[in-house]
Structure 1
């Protein structure tokens, strides 16, 4: 196929490791990513009283890529303020760690926040085996102390205010749900919302659809939060299929190979094994490209792609979770009716037969005409006046 390469010729002369690093650093800006990015930037700059930003989508859709783009742009937007104040950090982020004990570790989370905000005394604050001497003379004694959770929380609040942080982002935020009960989940979100309000800093939580169970735990939380959905591409939408093919073409043009591979002709295979998530496609292509470069291949073929395709069982699990999450976001008519009933508003009932006729005059006229027509038995004459008193005159 004709060359449509989107990289400099010098890349082709690089070694395989440099070529692979180049492809890994590339980001394809597609429609779904752009929409979600604009929504997040708008929520950060115009929160409208909200202190929490929830962004959720299926695994592998590109949430981490979006987070990095948001961080990059916010730093660029505030570069002048950072030059005037060397201690100013407009945006920072961490990845919430998976708990080892089955319950989210807040102490570990606060430690990672202090590190992300470059606290100059982080080593001292995180020391877990510090000790001090109390008393004097013969009554002196050595007291060992450990890092206290409330102290760490105060340290985090202080450094956020000192850095004049605009927004703090948390990747894999669905790990906040790893608690024993729903009540403790509400405590989780109350702690984050309280930190955001106290420090006048927005907090963005990026995660899978598991994050949905945290957004409406209380009325206060619902009022102080914004929801942003980052969906996958849908195979039953023609526009989504076109955009998905464009993504494949863009990735193909970024591959530092002698011949640009034709990935679009296999779009169904890519969709089937990625469930329409661009992040999964990127990871898959990266592994296939590594194999092609190791073999000094001139282009990428199915022989390079097949060994690294996600298994059918994995795709089934990802598709099931994605579809369930998408269904949870749909506003059903029954929910709207329950809301109106709870608020004392008139519940919109289905139209009656009379209302249906009034709303459809054409059908109403036909029915009226039909009602005037009377069926007669076979052989029965049409109604007419008979002639009386002789034969009828012929003119």
Structure 2
């Protein structure tokens, strides 16, 4: 019987990174680290900030930031999670845009439960969590499919899972799909859910989220706002930070860019308006064009840029958003009385 002689396996060949690797590259640049530091000061047991608002321009990288927050929370709690498989320190959900005339709390609650225990069948019934096994059990009573039962199940699940915070991305859907007289009802629902479950709510969205919240003084007063700002062209530190991000993208595909990307830093800063998520999208498009054509050239970069119409529209939204949000970030501390005289002028914090 003849036996074929097997050749020894060939050593694995190094695979050059491709355009797709850029979209998976998540940079820990200064603005992200600043936001993570600010959030860590607010996200803690016993914090009075039950609802936090992260606002920033389109393309700044809010989804990347908020997913990083959740992943970091899991990493920091890994030892506890290893000891108790039922613990989930943080979860990420996207606020549903259901197409209904009002925000769908049922769908929102179902998404939270899905993050706590994997995919769930529709139609939903009420859920609880077994404190011993950490597994969700399903109540099949006559009222199990009611919205109230679903809400109770979410509260129970969050408590049993010991969820410290929930990130709600695209949170403007919660408010945009609501009549103005129901805005405070929606926030009351969130605040009540946070209080009953002991879970903080982090709402993330572009500037329209802040403008919608600001329609109500009650809403604005009861939320803590954090601004995820762009890198400005008129700030030297921001320019350096933007260039460091561009250099990181260049190093991710050295064979493609061949060291030619940095010379276009100023043009890219202007076109992307200092938003790193937009920069990543532009460079990913350029890399795909280059791979399709067999080589990179300045024309592949130019084809990937935002059009002037796109850029101008985004810039208009950014300027309006920055103007609207800046007063909520300004705090005044009056100086103490000196020798019984008039109070010194306040200074901006």
2:72 matched to which residue of 1? 73
Cα shift at 1:43: 1.5
1:6 matched to which residue of 2? none
1:253 matched to which residue of 2? 251
Identify the match of residue 11 of structure 1 among 8, 15, 23. Answer: 15
1:284 matched to which residue of 2? 282
Query: Partners in 2 of 1:323 and 1:111 — Cα distance?
Result: 36
Identify the match of residue 232 of structure 1 among 230, 233, 246. Answer: 230
Query: Partners in 2 of 1:87 and 1:51 — Cα distance?
Result: 23
Cα shift at 1:151: 1.8
| Paired residue secondary structure (1:154) | helix
1:290-329 deviation digits (Å, cap 9, x = unpaired) = 22223332xx332212222222111111111111111112
Query: Partners in 1 of 2:116 and 2:214 — Cα distance?
Result: 26
Query: Partners in 2 of 1:295 and 1:179 — Cα distance?
Result: 44
> Structure 2 matches for 1:201-240, cutoff 5 A?
201-212=199-210, 213-214=212-213, 217=216, 219=218, 222-223=221-222, 225-240=223-238
5+ residue gaps, structure 2? 1-12, 127-141, 333-341
Cα shift at 1:62: 0.8
Would you say the 8 A contact 1:55–1:227 is kept in 2? yes
Query: Partners in 1 of 2:14 and 2:180 — Cα distance?
Result: 56
Which protein is bigger by CA-based radius of gyration? 1
1:319 matched to which residue of 2? 315
Would you say the 8 A contact 1:54–1:215 is kept in 2? no
Query: Partners in 1 of 2:259 and 2:196 — Cα distance?
Result: 53
Would you say the 8 A contact 2:95–2:171 is kept in 1? yes
Distance 1:48-1:216 versus aligned 2 partners, 3 A rule? farther
Query: Partners in 2 of 1:159 and 1:216 — Cα distance?
Result: 32
Query: Partners in 2 of 1:51 and 1:328 — Cα distance?
Result: 23
| Paired residue secondary structure (2:203) | strand
Q: Considering only aligned residues, what root-mean-square deviation do their CA atoms show, in Å?
A: 3.1
Query: Partners in 2 of 1:148 and 1:59 — Cα distance?
Result: 36
Greater shift in the superposed pair: 308-317 or 73-82? 308-317
Would you say the 8 A contact 2:184–2:219 is kept in 1? no
Superposition TM-score, scaled by structure 2 size: 0.79
5+ residue gaps, structure 1? 1-8, 13-17, 129-143, 337-345, 350-395
| Paired residue secondary structure (1:37) | helix
Greater shift in the superposed pair: 81-90 or 207-216? 207-216
Cα shift at 1:149: 1.8
Would you say the 8 A contact 2:22–2:280 is kept in 1? no
Distance 1:253-1:124 versus aligned 2 partners, 3 A rule? closer
Cα shift at 1:46: 6.5
Query: Partners in 1 of 2:184 and 2:319 — Cα distance?
Result: 25
Distance 1:147-1:305 versus aligned 2 partners, 3 A rule? farther
1:304 matched to which residue of 2? 300
2:116 matched to which residue of 1? 117
Cα shift at 1:86: 0.9
Query: Partners in 2 of 1:87 and 1:46 — Cα distance?
Result: 19
| Paired residue secondary structure (2:60) | coil
2:158 matched to which residue of 1? 160
Total equivalences in the alignment: 309
| Paired residue secondary structure (2:162) | coil
| Paired residue secondary structure (2:315) | helix
